[in-house]
């Protein structure tokens, strides 16, 4: 049976001219790999509005899988996230000037949701193809965690069969010419997201392999 994967990327934020998450997922828009169809949408880097936009795109595309992608400048790897937490806490304002302090995303929602995607398998798939990848156990408290929590809460509230998750990516090389920060090429990131998305569509169950982080 064919499967539809909806990918989302964000608007640039924090003074950057581009957001590599959108630059990467837009290259995968409309691509088909065997029976897996990928589409991509851009969402605002704004608390609340981002979740409203995501829900609208889910209703339009009716996907089997949703993978939101965001920039995590400073990271070394392509990092599928394990957990979304019920907390908005912004070190910098979002693109509409919102800067929440210690606010819940959902008043009556659980403290956290785990991803519905086989993230260890996605990481192994990427590493086999030469992409630096690892599982992350924190998506932060800015708009990316907010959207990831909103996605998992939507799936939960609507008792949907959609499987959802989030991938953070590093800066791309062009963004770091004037910074001392790690980066990957856009091509490497596109390939990593493609491998992760196709792997998530093909496999529901995760692999049972050693993981975790000591800090």
Per CB under 6 A, residues contacting ligand PCA are 10, 13, 19, 21, 45, 70-72, 140, 142-144
User: Could you say which of 37, 57, 81, 146 is catalytic?
Assistant: 81
> Is 55 designated active site?
no
Closest CA to 195 of 19, 16, 31: 31
- Residue 65 CA to residue 162 CA, distance in Å, equals 5
Rounded to the nearest whole angstrom, what is the least distance from the CB of residue 208 to ligand PCA in the complex?
Answer: 29
- Kindly tell me which of 113 and 142 has the beta carbon lying closer to ligand PCA: 142
- Kindly tell me which of 39 and 50 has the beta carbon lying closer to ligand PCA: 50
User: Could you say which of 23, 37, 77, 144 is catalytic?
Assistant: 144
- Residue 185 CA to residue 37 CA, distance in Å, equals 24
- Kindly tell me which of 55 and 124 has the beta carbon lying closer to ligand PCA: 55
Rounded to the nearest whole angstrom, what is the least distance from the CB of residue 5 to ligand PCA in the complex?
Answer: 19
User: Could you say which of 168, 174, 203, 215 is catalytic?
Assistant: 168
- Kindly provide the b/e burial profile for residues 133-170, where b requires at least 16 CB atoms within 10 angstroms of the residue's own CB: bbbbeebbbbbbbbbbbbbbbbbeeeeeebbbbbbbbb
- Kindly tell me which of 19 and 86 has the beta carbon lying closer to ligand PCA: 19
- Residue 54 CA to residue 129 CA, distance in Å, equals 30
- Residue 195 CA to residue 211 CA, distance in Å, equals 20
Which tokens sit at 28? 């995968």
> Is 57 designated active site?
no
Rounded to the nearest whole angstrom, what is the least distance from the CB of residue 77 to ligand PCA in the complex?
Answer: 14
Rounded to the nearest whole angstrom, what is the least distance from the CB of residue 71 to ligand PCA in the complex?
Answer: 4
- Residue 198 CA to residue 182 CA, distance in Å, equals 26
3-state secondary structure 161-195: CCEEEEEEECEEHHHHCCCCCCEECHHHHHHHHHH
Residue nearest to ligand PCA (CB): 144
> Is 68 designated active site?
no
Rounded to the nearest whole angstrom, what is the least distance from the CB of residue 61 to ligand PCA in the complex?
Answer: 20
- Kindly tell me which of 10 and 113 has the beta carbon lying closer to ligand PCA: 10
Active site residues: 81, 144, 168
């Amino acid at each position: 049976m064919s499967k539809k994967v909806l990918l989302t990327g964000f608007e640039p934020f924090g003074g950057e001219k581009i957001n590599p998450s959108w630059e990467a997922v837009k290259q995968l828009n409309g691509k088909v790999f065997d029976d897996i169809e990928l589409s991509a949408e851009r969402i605002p880097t704004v608390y609340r509005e981002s979740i409203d936009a995501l829900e609208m795109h889910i209703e339009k595309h009716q996907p089997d899988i949703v993978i939101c992608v965001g920039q995590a400048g400073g990271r070394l790897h392509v990092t599928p996230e394990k957990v979304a937490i019920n907390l908005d806490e912004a070190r910098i304002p979002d693109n509409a000037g919102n800067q929440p302090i210690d606010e819940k995303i959902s008043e009556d929602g659980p403290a956290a949701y785990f991803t519905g995607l086989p993230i260890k398998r996605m990481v192994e798939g990427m590493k086999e193809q030469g992409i630096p990848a690892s599982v992350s156990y924190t998506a932060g408290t800015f708009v990316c965690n907010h959207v990831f929590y909103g996605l998992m809460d939507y799936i939960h509230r609507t008792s949907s069969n959609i499987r959802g998750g989030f991938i953070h990516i590093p800066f791309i090389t062009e963004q770091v010419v004037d910074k001392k920060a790690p980066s990957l090429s856009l091509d490497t990131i596109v390939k990593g997201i493609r491998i992760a998305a196709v792997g998530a569509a093909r496999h529901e169950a995760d692999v049972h392999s050693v993981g975790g982080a000591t800090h």
